[in-house]
Structure 1
Amino acid sequence: MTRLERAIDRAAHRVLAGKPATGLRGFAVEAAVFVLKQAWACVFGALLLAVIVAARLWYPDDALLARNDALTIAAVLIQIGMLAFRLESGRELWVIVLFHITGTAMELFKTDMGSWSYDGDGVLRIGAVPLFSGFMYAAVGSYMVRVFRLHELRFSRYPARWATTVLAALIYLNFFGHHYVWDFRWVLLAGVVLLWWRTIMHFRVWRAWLRAPQLLIFAGVALFIWLAENIATWGGAWLYPDQLDGWHLVSPQKLISWFLLMIISVVMVTWVYPPRAPDPESGPDSEPGQDPARDAG
């Protein structure tokens, strides 16, 4: 954890010390900690989404600074704040920069193909793509690297990283290639199921270690991103062609796209945080409270 997160962790342990580990109250404590950790992992994306909504509701149409430029400046300030307050490490920043680059490259291509569009105002842009768009991909990367640390993720039967990297590369290429050749997304989706169907993710809440099928976690995160996308399009961050005459929910078919895009995100993060197997002494297979070094915090 970062320095600030260690301080928060120590304070949280003092507050939670003596709380029951089992029963209804124990469950309530674990549920509250899980929600707080997820919220903390989402801080970059949540702040960026809040800025987008605020710009939709209150940013004046006749302002000297274009709305898209204001969003870009706000995104840069959020990223600076994440580093200044030690919410992200330098190691993680490289992954987030990679998310930014790969996301911007896709944005340039997709807007040129008419898959979605942005308002034409502002000067902080590359072609038709305002620079704040890359930060939306960086927000996903920020969540991924932070959740790895906060929940101490472990994996049973994780597939070989070379195989996941090859599949992620094919998924990325298909986002471009399906405009010219057959769309292989269903084949790629089958490949994801084939690689990860036996994988179990173990994650720590406070005392409790929980486990869930990796594919189920993938689906849950894709759903969460799709919900955030609906808020962002409502806020006018970008629009799909069928939303130009009036906003409505993004097609649920986009869940498949987000599911596959998330695979790319997961694979990039695993090259910074290699997947680790459960620790039989102090990891998911131990009983709550059997990790003295951790629980004494």
Structure 2
Amino acid sequence: MQYLFLPLQFIGKAVSAALFGILLLIAFALTASMGSHEYMGFYRYDYLLIYALIIQICLLYLKLESWAEAKVIALFHVMAMVMEIFLTHPAIASWQYPQPAVFKILTVPLFAGFMYSAVGSFFARSIRLLQVSFEKLPSFGSMLLLAFFSYINFMSKFFVPDIRYILFAISVFIFWKTKLYFQLNEHKFKTPMLPVLLTLAFLIWIAENISTFYKIWLYPSQ
């Protein structure tokens, strides 16, 4: 009988790990009607920034998030802001934030970094909540290089050939033998790493489409 509850327990832990991102998506929907209007001197993006900060404070205060996880979130935020500033520059214009904001750096509202932080938060919290461990994980150096070149390619592809497919092939190669273990109560489960990564990429794609639907940012075609 206890095995019947394991899927529910897994879903519960996964939702808990994704809590920050889920709360952001809910806020995107609830604030959509604000548009570009000013409310008490601030705009939609500014209130989303305040909201994201309040969530982070609450998660830390309630010990739903550790300080180590908060550091991961901060790192994602800083790296995201650098990339966003570059990619939203008028000369590049990969996408744009169509609404005004008081709290922003150049073309990017400060809250934007929290969208990336939500991904970092999910990874960090999933590892803790599901007691994740790895088998045949690539070396830290190889993963660091892959992450570095992936990050650089986001910006360099406008000036030199895009190598995303090469990086994707390298990712498949180095993670091919990697196995992921996670634990629910005393039960331990094993799964290949690559399907997990593809599933996460699909979920991020869904979140991006929800965000653009509520006009958090817009692509040139929109």
Task: Give the TM-score normalised by the residue count of structure 2.
Answer: 0.94
Q: Please list every run of at least 4 consecutive aligned residues from structure 1 whose deviation after the TM superposition is greater than 6 angstroms.
A: none
Counterpart residue number, 2:71 = 94
Quick one: structure 1 residues 170 and 62, their matched pair in 2 at CA, closer, same or farther if it must change by over 3 Å? closer
- Aligned counterpart for 1:114 among listed residues 93, 116, 130: 93
Alignment of 1:214-293 (within 5 A): 214-243=193-222
Whole-Å separation in 2 of the counterparts to 1:193 and 1:137: 23
Q: Cα offset for 1:139? A: 0.6
What is the CA deviation profile of residues 6-32 of structure 1, one whole-angstrom value per residue up to 9, with x for unaligned ones? xxxxxxxxxxxxxx34xxxx2x30110
Say if 2:206 is the partner of 1:206.
no
Say if 2:46 is the partner of 1:69.
yes
Say if 2:22 is the partner of 1:46.
yes
Identity among equivalent positions (%) equals 37
CA contact (8 A) 2:178 2:193 kept: yes
Whole-Å separation in 1 of the counterparts to 2:37 and 2:154: 34
Whole-Å separation in 1 of the counterparts to 2:50 and 2:84: 19
Say if 2:122 is the partner of 1:140.
no
Whole-Å separation in 2 of the counterparts to 1:101 and 1:60: 25
Q: Cα offset for 1:79? A: 1.4
When Rg is computed on C-alpha atoms for both structures, the one with the higher figure is 1
Quick one: structure 1 residues 120 and 62, their matched pair in 2 at CA, closer, same or farther if it must change by over 3 Å? closer
The 10-residue stretch of structure 1 (191-200 or 58-67) with the greater mean CA deviation from structure 2: 58-67
What is the CA deviation profile of residues 218-266 of structure 1, one whole-angstrom value per residue up to 9, with x for unaligned ones? 00001001111111111111111111xxxxxxxxxxxxxxxxxxxxxxx
Query: What amino acid maps onto 2:22 in structure 1?
Result: A
What is the CA deviation profile of residues 69-102 of structure 1, one whole-angstrom value per residue up to 9, with x for unaligned ones? 1111111111111111112111221111100000
Counterpart residue number, 1:260 = none
Gaps of 5+ in 2: none
Whole-Å separation in 2 of the counterparts to 1:176 and 1:63: 35
Alignment of 1:9-24 (within 5 A): 20-21=1-2
Q: How many residues align?
A: 219
Task: Give the TM-score normalised by the residue count of structure 1.
Answer: 0.71
Query: What amino acid maps onto 2:29 in structure 1?
Result: V
Gaps of 5+ in 1: 1-19, 244-297
- Aligned counterpart for 1:128 among listed residues 98, 107, 124: 107
Q: Cα offset for 1:62? A: 5.2
Q: CA RMSD in A?
A: 1.5
CA contact (8 A) 1:33 1:206 kept: no
CA contact (8 A) 1:48 1:78 kept: no
Whole-Å separation in 2 of the counterparts to 1:233 and 1:227: 10
Query: What amino acid maps onto 1:157 in structure 2?
Result: K
- Aligned counterpart for 2:55 among listed residues 69, 72, 78: 78
The 10-residue stretch of structure 1 (154-163 or 101-110) with the greater mean CA deviation from structure 2: 154-163
